[in-house]
Amino acid sequence: MSRKNITIRSLVEMKSAGEKISVLTSYDASFTQLIESAGVDVILVGDSLGMVIQGQESTLPVTLDEMIYHTRNVARARNHALLVSDMPFMSYRSPELALESAGRLMKEGGAQMVKLEGGAIHLQTIRQLSGQGIPVCGHLGLLPQSVHKLGGYRVQGRGERDAEQILDDAVALEEAGIDLLVLECVPDQLAARISRKLTIPVIGIGAGVDCDGQVLVLYDMLGINPHPPSFVENFLHSGRTIEEAIKAYSTAVKQADFPTKEHSFS
Ligand code: KIV
């Protein structure tokens, strides 16, 4: 059976039907081919490439030109999956700059959606991007681009006030026009609440099994990271090929077998 192209509409339909959405990062054409043939729904060109490709300590040094370069490489091999690309640190600090950066990611890189990190401060930017026909993915919870402000890579939204703030931000982002939301490193109960409350799909990473879908960094789920976060599972084991490991990840997400409690925070 031929695969349908994944669009914003099909993602919302999947959410309504209770069908889980599989998302994986990719940074080049070869891995993208494998991810496509494994039937993953959404490919994210994450600025995690700063760490896993460039060996940087954080995502902060990644430039817009580098994001465009990797997005273009992924776009050449993309077939049916929806292609989302990260707006790097400081490339969306005003609505005008965000329009320019997102426009370049789409025109030069071939992105079909752009992702930005943070809450209420970006509402005007999201309205402008959305108004210009640019699909936007929000990102709340642990914000890797704010690692120095957060004081490290730590779980967010554990206290009642912080949890309410993340929930309020999620609702405000949806009202402003985001089409997808990534929730990173938040307690599973909070992620479940947000996923139920929003109409748009919510994709978790370290956010429990009750999100509408899951994302992992490709190199983490292939066991290449020597110090993986506790929410990661290495799918490249038991003599599997890389393609089989990616397929196993996608199937585990679809069947809600991943993540388990052991990969979640409370
Ligand atoms: O940069 C990235 O890969 C991401 C995911 C971890 C969600 O933002």
Is residue 145 lining ligand 1, measured as CB closer than 6 Å?
Answer: no
Pocket residue to mutate for ligand 1, from 184, 185, 186, 219, most atoms within 8 A of Cβ: 184
Mean pLDDT of 115-144: 98
Question: Token pair 């370290």 is at which residue?
Answer: 206
Q: Report whether pLDDT(225) > 90.
A: no
- Residue 2 placed within a domain: no
Mutate to test the pocket of ligand 1, among 21, 22, 26, 48 (most ligand atoms within 8 A of CB): 48
The band of 238, judged by pLDDT with boundaries at 50, 70 and 90, is confident
In 3D space, the residue among 53, 57, 56, 35 whose CA is nearest the CA of residue 44 turns out to be 35
Question: Is the per-residue pLDDT at 34 higher than 70?
Answer: yes
Q: Is the CB of 205 under 6 A from ligand 1?
A: yes
> Does residue 159 sit within a domain?
yes
- Cβ proximity of 111 and 127 under 8 Å: no
Distance between CA 146 and CA 230 in Å, rounded? Answer: 20
Report pLDDT for 3. 84
Residue 198 inside a domain? The answer is yes
Query: Is the CB of residue 152 less than 8 Å from the CB of residue 25?
Result: no
217 pLDDT above the threshold of 90: yes
Nearest to 192 by CA among 200, 184, 202, 180: 202
C-alpha count within 13 angstroms, C-beta hemisphere, residue 89: 15
Task: Say whether 20 counts as a known binding-site residue.
Answer: no
When pLDDT is cut at 50, 70 and 90, the band that residue 1 belongs to is low
Q: What is the CATH number of the domain that holds 249?
A: 3.20.20.60
Q: How many domains are contained in the chain?
A: 1
The reply to whether 176 falls in a domain is yes
pTM summary value: 0.98
d(CA 63, CA 79): 26
- 117 ligand 1 Cβ < 6 A: no
Instruction: Using the predicted structure, report yes or no on whether residue 2 has a pLDDT greater than 80.
Output: no
The mean per-residue pLDDT over the stretch 222-247 comes to 94
- Domain of residue 218 covers 8-263
CA distance 191 to 202: 8
Rounded Cα–Cα distance for residues 181 and 156 (Å): 16
Q: What is the pLDDT of residues 70-88, one digit of tens each?
A: 999 999 999 999 999 999 9
